[in-house]
Chain A
């Protein structure tokens, strides 16, 4: 999860919520995100808050991490009070969660179950690197209550994996998916990255085929983003690698959307496709502005209009937790306008779209023009929902700007 610091106001050391948010909590579903800030090696394009063993040195140990995360779960319980809100989704992301022993992941999930209780149909996902799982570890995770696994396959083209500096071989991702299915995971996601410099449309077609035929019921496909400060950005700046071409990215997106649709996947968010019932409910919780608590360094949380984010570095995080303090670095209490803006910019990306009745007259004019320009499905007035066409999905940010509150 990228979590670059943003400006905010100081967060209270005990993590207490503003009264309004504390009172409103519980009206929407509750989710947990657990950040695991470790990787075996850092990929060239990655700007996530993650660290390799050599980067961290002795200041923050992987072996003590689960205990710290569990302590934050108990802090969450104290802050949120004893209201009975069973957790509907949990998502372990990173970093590489599977770099920790399966038992650690199991313990952290256990802490959430102990403090809050899991809903009967709770969705519990972990991200995994194809290199860091085995049939045994996958079996352990499944029996600990994990229901969904997400693999970073990215591409099957060797030249693309090289540019991305991914360490796995193309074949390993497919094997790992098989192993996960054998271990009883019903829901499997694969991540793809497209428009990597040097990737041909044939390269991408092979990656799409691999993802579709892997048996996964969910695919996330992202255009490569050259983030500032990454090794990839350095290479682009020095001219060693060309930058991502937006027109190529648009072609690839259309290629992906066609291939997935033909294979029975349906888009339900700009970059996400699923077979029926395979949608990721955790991510939908973000996009529907539900409540979620992010555990771990740099993790963001959102509870009823208050958002905060934890200190980024694992050792700073550990220090706060050891001292019994909230790891929150700063927070923002969203105004009504800001909450509406966030709902618009998130919901417009979803298949379900925006509810037209919630828009102002000015915003409806924007929608009307967007429909004329082919960005919005023309049935919006009849259905009462503003949903994007394929062209509109590719230009979702332009439309969102026009729809933001004046």
Chain B
């Protein structure tokens, strides 16, 4: 640590501690602001500095988003001459991780609301801001990038003031890039954000706001100590499961791990127990001492619940064991990832995986491909359906091909509350889009003269496919979206099967609203017609709800497949061509009697064009 006279972990007076986070949209400069704070407080010198210091994964740096949060301890001598301990708790930056965000916020007393002075607030930031206000956090509004030519600090200061109910003059203006105003901001943090209040003498209670698997250390658990303290070598207990572990190490991040004897009341630090699976150290859980521990857990713990499911299959069937090992490894670091083996006629052996949401799916898939070198096919994402049968029994369906046929009394699907922020010019287009996605308008507010907040309830199924892309294209990229699950509703849903020469292709079954079944059927049948090569016999492609065919196409039988000329100079080429085609034929998947190249499945499942979208 740079400042050797700063208070030490485990013996820091809570009155000099300030726990805060930064709420910001992707690209609004959160990581850059964090970088400046590291530099100004001297915990990282300019020689060691690299951009987005705290973002550890390549994917995080590339996408400019934080997937996993962490906390960094910054000793800072304020204008009053006192050295404070600022704990900057990073929050994950996406809609799928609302629960994780809420736990990070619960670890803080204050939040910096960071908004790009050229773009204004985005829906997701707004959602997180509301979360912060619900948690009674002291919010410091800050406009970033005020050095940009396109910055409109007056306009957006007014907007922020309107949203949080302060004076526009109270909105701080900084440039994280140049460092302008960041020192003042830190002084405001000291001045405005309350010190933590806890009982130093009570049994230890610390809230887990993140846990990360490290190949060398095992699981590293990030906690905010609410009461008491946690010391090295002590035995601790996880209050949700009752599991006990020995604390092999405790410490703080500043910004590299610094072991200490203890972390005390109000402090933020890390714990290492040697466990190998983040499931043993769950976000939101309360850590206490095994001996004379607390009896009452801190509130707010929730099991992670997968909302979106997709089948993941290796392109090369022989990679199945590699995929299994890779998922086992990722799971160590991802408490929300669930999966079980699944077999598809079309795609072979793979896994049905559950995710918090679309971004979570995308990140897992990308990590599997990048870090484990796998080529994957994923089926169209779907949500979880609760199906009640006529006989009163109930089924949870996570795979459309397992949707029961007949005797169904009710199908329930998850719904979300969506918040959309956009320039007012696009209200019509957004309403039209939400209408076609079975949305119900719950309210609309003007944030400023030309910016509108729209609140909808929407079936999650309508969002998981391409809603965000459609929203972006209808609003020229200006709209932002946030949503959170709010429950479920009974809907008129049917399963559409796609049959090839009479055989259902499991990977293409979809659960869609009755009114959209026809469009889906026509679209998929047409797509497959173009993708599947002609066979020696005519191949009917049908879309069907149960036994009722709703759309039909057909691939005409091939009549000619012969090279006209085959003379002396053609023979070698011809033999090699046929040998190659024979190899290609071995990679064909058989659906009944129909040979389908794997590329056709991939192309049919690709999301470049939405099959669920009515024409």
B615 at the interface (CB under 8 A from A): no
Task: With both chains docked as a complex, state the minimum distance between the C-beta of A287 and any C-beta of chain B, in angstroms.
Answer: 8
CA A367 to CA B567, docked complex, whole Å: 24
- Determine whether the beta carbon of A225 is less than 8 Å from that of B565: yes
Q: CB-CB < 8 A to A325: which residues of B?
A: none
B5 at the interface (CB under 8 A from A): no
- Those of B534-578 within 8 Å (CB) of chain A: 536-537, 556, 558-576, 578
Task: With both chains docked as a complex, state the minimum distance between the C-beta of A223 and any C-beta of chain B, in angstroms.
Answer: 5
A395 at the interface (CB under 8 A from B): yes
A245 nearest in chain B by CB position: B560
A342 at the interface (CB under 8 A from B): yes
A345 at the interface (CB under 8 A from B): yes
- Determine whether the beta carbon of B559 is less than 8 Å from that of A247: yes
- Determine whether the beta carbon of B569 is less than 8 Å from that of A298: yes
A300 at the interface (CB under 8 A from B): yes
Segment from B152-160, B345-353, B579-587 that makes contact with A: B579-587
- Determine whether the beta carbon of A1 is less than 8 Å from that of B563: no
Q: CB-CB < 8 A to B556: which residues of A?
A: 247
CA A398 to CA B533, docked complex, whole Å: 13
Task: With both chains docked as a complex, state the minimum distance between the C-beta of A279 and any C-beta of chain B, in angstroms.
Answer: 14
Known: A342-B575, A394-B561, A394-B562. A401 touches B581 (CB 8 A): yes
A294 at the interface (CB under 8 A from B): yes
B573 nearest in chain A by CB position: A6
Known: A395-B536, A401-B581. A4 touches B575 (CB 8 A): no
Q: CB-CB < 8 A to A283: which residues of B?
A: 567
Q: CB-CB < 8 A to B576: which residues of A?
A: 6
Q: CB-CB < 8 A to B571: which residues of A?
A: 286, 300, 302, 307, 342, 345-346
CA A246 to CA B564, docked complex, whole Å: 12
- Those of A338-370 within 8 Å (CB) of chain B: 338, 341-342, 345-346, 349
- Determine whether the beta carbon of B561 is less than 8 Å from that of A397: yes
- Determine whether the beta carbon of A395 is less than 8 Å from that of B561: yes
A268 at the interface (CB under 8 A from B): no
CA A346 to CA B572, docked complex, whole Å: 11
- Determine whether the beta carbon of A404 is less than 8 Å from that of B560: no
A22 at the interface (CB under 8 A from B): no
Task: With both chains docked as a complex, state the minimum distance between the C-beta of B556 and any C-beta of chain A, in angstroms.
Answer: 8
CA A338 to CA B578, docked complex, whole Å: 11
- Determine whether the beta carbon of B559 is less than 8 Å from that of A307: no
- From B562, B566, B574, give the contact of A395 (CB < 8 A): B562
- Determine whether the beta carbon of B568 is less than 8 Å from that of A338: no
A253 at the interface (CB under 8 A from B): yes
- Determine whether the beta carbon of A3 is less than 8 Å from that of B569: yes
Decide if the interface of chain A is mainly helix, strand, loop or mixed. mixed
- Determine whether the beta carbon of A294 is less than 8 Å from that of B565: no
A267 at the interface (CB under 8 A from B): no
- Those of B219-276 within 8 Å (CB) of chain A: none
- Determine whether the beta carbon of B569 is less than 8 Å from that of A398: no
- Those of A310-327 within 8 Å (CB) of chain B: none
Interface size on A, residues (CB 8 A): 46
CA A349 to CA B581, docked complex, whole Å: 18
- Those of A371-406 within 8 Å (CB) of chain B: 373, 375, 393-398, 400-401, 404
A332 at the interface (CB under 8 A from B): yes
- Determine whether the beta carbon of A400 is less than 8 Å from that of B578: yes
- Determine whether the beta carbon of B572 is less than 8 Å from that of A300: yes
B536 nearest in chain A by CB position: A373
Which of B566, B569, B570, B581 has the largest count of A CB atoms less than 10 A from its CB? B569
Task: With both chains docked as a complex, state the minimum distance between the C-beta of A294 and any C-beta of chain B, in angstroms.
Answer: 6
Task: With both chains docked as a complex, state the minimum distance between the C-beta of A333 and any C-beta of chain B, in angstroms.
Answer: 12
A250 at the interface (CB under 8 A from B): yes
- Determine whether the beta carbon of B566 is less than 8 Å from that of A349: yes
CA A3 to CA B568, docked complex, whole Å: 9
- Those of A27-59 within 8 Å (CB) of chain B: 33
Q: CB-CB < 8 A to B565: which residues of A?
A: 2, 222, 225, 271
Q: CB-CB < 8 A to B536: which residues of A?
A: 373, 375, 395, 398
- Determine whether the beta carbon of B568 is less than 8 Å from that of A398: no
Which of A246, A271, A286, A401 has the largest count of B CB atoms less than 10 A from its CB? A401
Task: With both chains docked as a complex, state the minimum distance between the C-beta of B532 and any C-beta of chain A, in angstroms.
Answer: 15
A248 nearest in chain B by CB position: B560
Known: A2-B570, A309-B569. A393 touches B562 (CB 8 A): yes
Task: With both chains docked as a complex, state the minimum distance between the C-beta of B270 and any C-beta of chain A, in angstroms.
Answer: 59
Task: With both chains docked as a complex, state the minimum distance between the C-beta of B579 and any C-beta of chain A, in angstroms.
Answer: 7
CA A150 to CA B579, docked complex, whole Å: 32
Q: CB-CB < 8 A to B561: which residues of A?
A: 246, 394-398
CA A396 to CA B564, docked complex, whole Å: 10
Task: With both chains docked as a complex, state the minimum distance between the C-beta of A367 and any C-beta of chain B, in angstroms.
Answer: 15
A292 at the interface (CB under 8 A from B): yes
A194 nearest in chain B by CB position: B564
A270 at the interface (CB under 8 A from B): yes
- From A4, A222, A225, A302, give the contact of B568 (CB < 8 A): A302
- Determine whether the beta carbon of B560 is less than 8 Å from that of A300: no
Known: A247-B559, A309-B569. A223 touches B564 (CB 8 A): yes
A299 at the interface (CB under 8 A from B): yes
- Determine whether the beta carbon of A270 is less than 8 Å from that of B578: no
Q: CB-CB < 8 A to A122: which residues of B?
A: none
B581 nearest in chain A by CB position: A401
- Determine whether the beta carbon of B560 is less than 8 Å from that of A1: no
A236 at the interface (CB under 8 A from B): no
Task: With both chains docked as a complex, state the minimum distance between the C-beta of B195 and any C-beta of chain A, in angstroms.
Answer: 73
Q: CB-CB < 8 A to B569: which residues of A?
A: 1-3, 294, 298-300, 309
Which of B563, B573, B581 has the largest count of A CB atoms less than 10 A from its CB? B563
- Determine whether the beta carbon of B567 is less than 8 Å from that of A286: yes
Which of B559, B574, B581, B585 has the largest count of A CB atoms less than 10 A from its CB? B559
- From A271, A375, A404, give the contact of B578 (CB < 8 A): A404
A391 nearest in chain B by CB position: B559
- Determine whether the beta carbon of A341 is less than 8 Å from that of B579: yes
Q: CB-CB < 8 A to B564: which residues of A?
A: 222-223, 225, 270-271
A249 at the interface (CB under 8 A from B): yes
Known: A6-B573, A341-B579. A397 touches B562 (CB 8 A): yes
Which of B537, B560, B576 has the largest count of A CB atoms less than 10 A from its CB? B560
- Determine whether the beta carbon of A404 is less than 8 Å from that of B579: yes
- Determine whether the beta carbon of A249 is less than 8 Å from that of B585: no
- Determine whether the beta carbon of B559 is less than 8 Å from that of A33: no
- Determine whether the beta carbon of A395 is less than 8 Å from that of B558: yes
CA A287 to CA B568, docked complex, whole Å: 8
Q: CB-CB < 8 A to A393: which residues of B?
A: 562
Q: CB-CB < 8 A to A1: which residues of B?
A: 567-570
CA A169 to CA B565, docked complex, whole Å: 25
- Those of A274-306 within 8 Å (CB) of chain B: 283, 286-287, 292, 294, 298-302
Q: CB-CB < 8 A to A271: which residues of B?
A: 564-565
Beyond contacts A2-B570, A307-B571, A346-B571: 13 other A-B pairs, Cβ-Cβ < 8 A, are A247-B559, A250-B559, A286-B566, A300-B568, A300-B572, A393-B562, A394-B562, A395-B559, A395-B562, A397-B562, A398-B536, A401-B581, A401-B585
> Using a CB–CB distance below 8 Å, which chain B residues touch chain A?
536-537, 556, 558-576, 578-579, 581-582, 585
> Using a CB–CB distance below 8 Å, which chain A residues touch chain B?
1-4, 6, 33, 222-223, 225, 246-247, 249-250, 253, 270-271, 283, 286-287, 292, 294, 298-302, 307, 309, 332, 338, 341-342, 345-346, 349, 373, 375, 393-398, 400-401, 404
CB-defined A-B contacts under 8 Å, sample of 8: A33-B568, A271-B564, A300-B572, A345-B575, A394-B561, A400-B578, A401-B578, A404-B578
Nearest 4 Cβ contacts at the A-B interface? A250-B559, A222-B564, A3-B569, A250-B560
